[in-house]
Amino acid sequence: MVKFAVIAGNASKDLGKRIARKLKAPYVEAKTRVFPDGESKITFGRIQKNSIILVVQSTYPPVDTNLLQALSIISQARKVSSKIYAIIPYMGYARQDRQFLSGEVVTMSIVARMLKSAGAQKIVVVDIHSKIALNHFKIPKENISAIPELAKYFKRMKLKDALVVSPDMGGALRAKKFASLIDTDFIALKKSRNRNTGKVVIQSSKVDVRGKDLILVDDIISTGGSIVKATQFLKKQKCKRVFVACTHGLFVEGAEKKIKNAGVSRIISTNTIPRNTSKVDISGVIADSIR
């Protein structure tokens, strides 16, 4: 019988405990002390030898701190077991997966090498931003989808005449999958983003959403610019209510407030990043993928 042990960093303690319960595995407390200069000191208790150790740590802001803590825990755990799985539900730097402008560093490739060098034998992520980001890992990897769990949440809401909307063409397949799970249709808006300024423009001219409840589906919401622009555009098309569903709710720079002010009725995210919007638990799908 395979023996697991779960260690979670500061960023994912609750999720780590949930995964441990699902796997009926011991949860090892990782105690983190942050010094006045910002350095972290991590200590954790005894781990049963020959266990597969699951290190659970999302790398949301402060991204570099949470990443370094993940690397430190993996490195120490490697001294006890030869089998270390890095469970990074939200993978920071995944949007820096290729060079968009001359001189840019492809940081995702560096992060991938660091996790491998620290001792991770496998990487498990949830709805990573792109397959290109995942391809930087030269060890076994698994990308889990949170869309089925998010769709279950909205199916329980029993919205009438709902329509799923992707804020851009890149998320069309995600929206299509979400829509099929709640037995409805979907559309994808055309969007452009200035690579230098980050300014978002909705290029779609008109869509038929009059009187419909809309579910805007995205993988990551950071500053919320795309969601705000999409909501404003859809409201002008005389839609009914707008709901937002995302896997990773970063919500930086007051994004949650801006989204609500744009007219969104409710924001639902998963617990890859703990927020007051984190109504969907993905510990079960992570545990199932590991068993």
Structure confidence at residue 202 (pLDDT): 77
Structure confidence at residue 195 (pLDDT): 67
pTM exceeds 0.85 for this model: yes
Question: Is the pLDDT score of 200 beyond 90?
Answer: no
Does 178 share its domain with 69?
no
Closest among 107, 35, 36, 117 to 72, alpha carbons compared: 117
Does 94 share its domain with 106?
yes
In angstroms, rounded to a whole number, what is the distance separating the alpha carbons of residues 125 and 13? Answer: 16
**Domain-embedded: residue 55:** yes
Does 235 share its domain with 155?
yes
Query: How crowded is residue 183: how many other Cβ atoms within 10 Å of its Cβ?
Result: 9
Does 48 share its domain with 88?
yes
Does 127 share its domain with 155?
no
**Domain-embedded: residue 276:** no
Q: Considering the chain, what is the average pLDDT of its residues?
A: 94
Catalytic member of 13, 122, 191, 257? 191
Q: Give the number of domains in the chain.
A: 2
Does 210 share its domain with 141?
no
Does 47 share its domain with 174?
no
Does 197 share its domain with 104?
no
Does 27 share its domain with 101?
yes
DSSP class of 110: H
The tens digit of pLDDT for each residue in 91-127 reads 999 999 999 889 999 999 999 999 999 999 999 999 9
Does 138 share its domain with 217?
no
Structure confidence at residue 47 (pLDDT): 85
Q: Percentage of the chain surpassing pLDDT 70?
A: 97
Question: Is the pLDDT score of 205 beyond 80?
Answer: no
Question: Is the pLDDT score of 198 beyond 70?
Answer: no
Question: Is the pLDDT score of 163 beyond 90?
Answer: yes
114-131 exposure pattern, b = at least 16 Cβ within 10 A, e = fewer? ebbebbbbbbbbbbbbee
Structure confidence at residue 9 (pLDDT): 95
Does 57 share its domain with 160?
no
For range 135-142, the mean pLDDT = 97
Question: Is the pLDDT score of 10 beyond 90?
Answer: yes
Please confirm, yes or no, whether 191 is among the known catalytic residues. Answer: yes
**Domain-embedded: residue 137:** yes
The tens digit of pLDDT for each residue in 262-279 reads 999 999 999 999 999 999
**CATH for 211:** 3.40.50.2020
Structure confidence at residue 242 (pLDDT): 98
The tens digit of pLDDT for each residue in 54-97 reads 999 999 999 999 999 999 999 999 999 989 999 999 999 999 99
Structure confidence at residue 178 (pLDDT): 98
Question: Is the pLDDT score of 201 beyond 80?
Answer: no
CA dihedral 278, 20, 60, 109 (to 10 degrees): -130
The secondary element (H helix, E strand) that includes residue 75 is helix 63-77
Does 75 share its domain with 105?
yes
Domain of 89 in residue numbering reads as: 4-145+281-290
Strand order through the sheet with 52-56: 27-28, 4-8, 52-56, 84-88, 122-126, 141-144
